[in-house]
Amino acid sequence: MLKDKVIIVTGGGGGIGEGIAHVCIDNGAKVVIGERNDESGQRVAKELGENALAIACDVSNDEDLDRLIEFTVASFGRIDGVVNNAGVNFSKPFMDTSSDDWQDVISVDLRAVFFLTQKTCAQMVRQSPAGGSIVNISSVHSVAALPGAGPYDAAKAGVVGMSKSIAIEMAADNIRVNCVSPGLVNTQIWQDLLAAAPDMDECMAFWNSNIPMNRVIETREIGEAVCFLLSDKSSAMTGSNMMVDAGMTSQLVSREPFESSSIEGS
């Protein structure tokens, strides 16, 4: 699906980004990982083989973003796709959230997505043939919220909003911009959450009750959706927010642990 396409994956040194990078390579892409933790970025690139490279990059730093683009073009000649995946999680009560907290989350989860997309579009417009596909990793938090997640929710909803705006602005230049919004994915955060629970089975049952498919999502399953949006198979899609959430945001409330004898009204 991505034969010879050149794809940047930010935060590809672990978690969902690593899964996305693997699926891109499996589908014939050349991949550049832009990762703040250079050691993990280099480790993943090595695992992916000769069609993958990694460069140290903090996406909240504009000069690092320029270097990421220059490195990719110097290495592989062009950019066909960018996956804005790097992100930081956040949980703190609203009344305790400081302006530094806000800045830390927004600079990575929102601002960096905007400016890497802008810098990439400049390259995509000037290359020949022009064009490309941008995939921004948002979250189920783009449509629903958890307490204590204000800056994260603002960033993830903001990513969807600005992706629509950029999508319509860049459509004439053959650049598509879409979002993927994952539900609960099997990454370190999920493993830590399970490990911290007094009863792991009870914890898993609680979370599963909030997920119609009754399970967490594997990182490669997010990668498959991203790969589709990067590829020409999604050629008529731009401005969309694809929920890859195992049904989480389609459900009004968790399944009730008891059954009504009748649901017919009188």
Residues 6+ apart with CB under 8 A from 202: none
We find the least distance from the C-beta atom of residue 41 to ligand NAD, in angstroms, to be: 7
The yes or no reply on residue 148 touching ligand NAD (CB under 6 A) is no
The yes or no reply on residue 139 touching ligand NAD (CB under 6 A) is yes
Nearer to ligand NAD, 10 or 234 (CB): 10
Query: For residues 212 and 195, what is the distance between their CA atoms, to the nearest angstrom?
Result: 23
* Helix boundaries (H) for 27-61: 38-48
Nearer to ligand NAD, 125 or 218 (CB): 218
The yes or no reply on residue 57 touching ligand NAD (CB under 6 A) is yes
The yes or no reply on residue 151 touching ligand NAD (CB under 6 A) is no
Nearer to ligand NAD, 58 or 80 (CB): 58
Going by C-alpha positions, the residue among 204, 205, 199, 214 that lies closest to residue 245 is: 214
How many of the other CB atoms lie within 10 Å of CB of 148? Answer: 15
Nearer to ligand NAD, 132 or 182 (CB): 182
Of 27, 60, 117, 120, the one binding ligand NAD by CB under 6 A: 60
We find the least distance from the C-beta atom of residue 76 to ligand NAD, in angstroms, to be: 20
Going by C-alpha positions, the residue among 106, 36, 104 that lies closest to residue 65 is: 36
Going by C-alpha positions, the residue among 224, 230, 178 that lies closest to residue 23 is: 224
DSSP E strand stretches across 138-216? 175-182
Q: Catalytic: 95?
A: no
Active centre residues (catalytic): 152
Positions that interact with ligand NAD (CB under 6 A): 10-11, 13-17, 35-37, 40, 57-60, 85-88, 108, 137, 139, 182, 184-185, 187-189
